[in-house]
Amino acid sequence: MNSLHRKKVWRENLGSYAFLVPWLLGFLVLTLYPMMYSLYLSFTKFNIRTPPEWIGLRNYLVMFTGTDALPKDERFLNSVFVTFKFVFISVPLKLVFALAVAMLMNKKLKMIGLYRALYYIPTLLGGSVAIAVLWRRLFAGDGLINMILSGVFGLENLPAWISNPKYSLYTLILLAVWQFGSPMIIFLAGLQQIPREYYEASSVDGAGKVRQFLAITLPSLSPIIFFNFVMQMISAFQSFTQAFIVSGGSGGPLDSTMFYSLYLYIKGFGFSEMGYAAAMAWVLLIIIAGLTAISFRASGNLVSYGSGE
């Protein structure tokens, strides 16, 4: 009886299983297998031309402490520092700017749809090679930025922002903040879900705009702020194109724009150290997963999911 029942269930669900097969094959072949193989490669010395050679934890030891035969990889540690600096400056600034613009776009203005589309364009273009090349020219010693600063404001002896290690990273941070369209759209959707009655009632009680923002807008948007923060943090840790184009693929000047993903690319494809690059990829995964877990842990008292009823 049980056997007949199982056969009947199998026949009834055969169509569903058939639709699952393409996704399952894609997941196993294109996602799970590459991940597991890269984990294996992270414990090997592998340069594509020769078969992987098992070396245990040596790749990981070289990153952080060094071994008796190999010194600690200072460029790796520098790439971690540069990436953390980029992430924890650019992400808060982008979210603040995105929220400010979203609040402006939440007004009832003529042609508001056009304004929203225009403000979203930087997100569509910002990650492209063309914009990175343009950014490099804008902040060059003879670029448009210096022409404006010298011609309009009369400033002299201006640095070449891109080629100066003191300022080069901040030009990339500015580029990242300029791509605020995606979180702006999400903030705008959240703002439109806040009942107007909240603001009307608070106005009757004498609350001003600042008080309304702190007591109504921010608490109501806290889940969206948290979502945007996590998503933008994960994206920022994986930044590659801008640093690659602006620095010419070197991470210069003086490794000041050596993002983690860029150094991973250089080790893997520049020096053919695929095993080391695979280990770096897994370290990055652990960093992102750890910071995401900490964010969720810390969000308990900061994020309100109440219905507002």
Question: CATH code at 143?
Answer: 1.10.3720.10
Residue 241 belongs to a domain: yes
Domain residue limits at 238: 74-300
Triad 89, 95, 99: Cα angle to 5°: 150
- Quote the CA–CA distance of 270 and 264 in Å, as a whole number: 9
Residue 94 belongs to a domain: yes
Residue 140 belongs to a domain: yes
pLDDT in tens for each of the 309 residues of the chain? 567 777 777 777 787 888 888 999 999 999 999 999 999 999 999 988 889 999 999 999 999 998 888 899 999 999 999 999 999 999 999 999 999 999 988 887 777 778 778 878 877 776 678 888 889 989 988 899 999 999 888 888 888 899 999 999 999 999 999 988 889 999 999 999 988 898 889 888 888 888 999 889 999 999 999 999 999 999 999 999 989 999 988 998 899 999 999 999 999 999 999 999 999 999 999 999 999 999 999 888 788 776 544
Phi, psi of 108 (to 5 degrees): -90, 90
Task: Count how many domains the chain has.
Answer: 1
Residue 69 belongs to a domain: no
Residue 54 belongs to a domain: no
Residue 195 belongs to a domain: yes
Whole-model pTM?
0.89
Residue 134 belongs to a domain: yes
Residue 125 belongs to a domain: yes
Predicted pLDDT of residue 151: 86
160: amino acid identity, one letter = A
- Quote the CA–CA distance of 162 and 272 in Å, as a whole number: 28
